[in-house]
Amino acid sequence: MSLSVTTWYLEQTSRTDLSPATGPAAEQDVRIIRSEVPSPEFSRFLYTAVGGDVTWTDRLTWSYAQWVAHLGRPGVETWVAYERGTPAGFIELAADADGSVEITYFGLLPDFRGRRIGGHLLAYGIERAWDLAERWPGLARTERVWVHTCSQDGPHAMANYQRRGFRLYDTTVTEEPDVPAPGPWPGAGPTTAGTPAGE
């Protein structure tokens, strides 16, 4: 059985395109820190914990060596939001040789959604995309930041990107297998824990 999936492609072509976000309350103690030591175990945890209820499946079959190779690429960065020391979400950036930086993944764990962390993390991550070459000697200066989201992602993803200043430049529709959301591990996830997805 197949499912019609719409994918939207968005971009910023100037650092001035970025619109700031209202951050979380001070008492939430939210901090954003770069995960500078490549760790396949930690990155896979973030990927499955954030993407388990929105059908992120493309990296589930990656081997340890594939994770190592990806995380070790020049210009790949993972920035993690923590609330009082607990990982709340992440944004992954990947630079291309032409000066483009892709936001390859971005999202929050279900329990941290709807608390002003997402917009704050996204805005911070976009800033880091624009100054990424300053941390990677030899990489081209960022000329464009882009991202794609689809109809299987969280219900607020598209609006969040547009509020941060991204503009739509392409849309595609494809037929894909109707695969159930895998959850962070078998038997776990917001549907079994009683937390509505996307809140």
Length in residues, the chain: 199
Mean pLDDT calculated for residue range 9-37 = 95
Q: How many beta carbons lie within 10 A of that of residue 11, not counting itself? A: 19
- Write the pLDDT tens digit of every residue in 48-107: 999 988 889 899 999 999 999 999 999 999 999 999 999 999 999 999 999 999 999 999
Q: Which CATH class is domain 2-181?
A: alpha beta
pTM of the predicted model as reported, rounded to 2 decimal places: 0.89
- 8 A C-beta contact, residue 173 and residue 6: yes
Q: What is the pLDDT of residues 128-147, one digit of tens each?
A: 999 999 999 999 999 999 99
Residue type (1 letter), 85: G
Give the pLDDT mean for 168-176: 93
Question: Do the Cβ atoms of 108 and 89 come closer than 8 Å?
Answer: yes
Beta bridge partners of 145: 12, 101
What residues pair up with 4 in beta bridges, in sequence order?
175
Q: How far is CA 101 from the centre of its chain?
A: 13
Q: Give the residue extent of every domain in the chain.
A: 2-181
Asked if residue 25 has pLDDT above 50, the reply is yes
Average pLDDT of every residue of the chain: 90
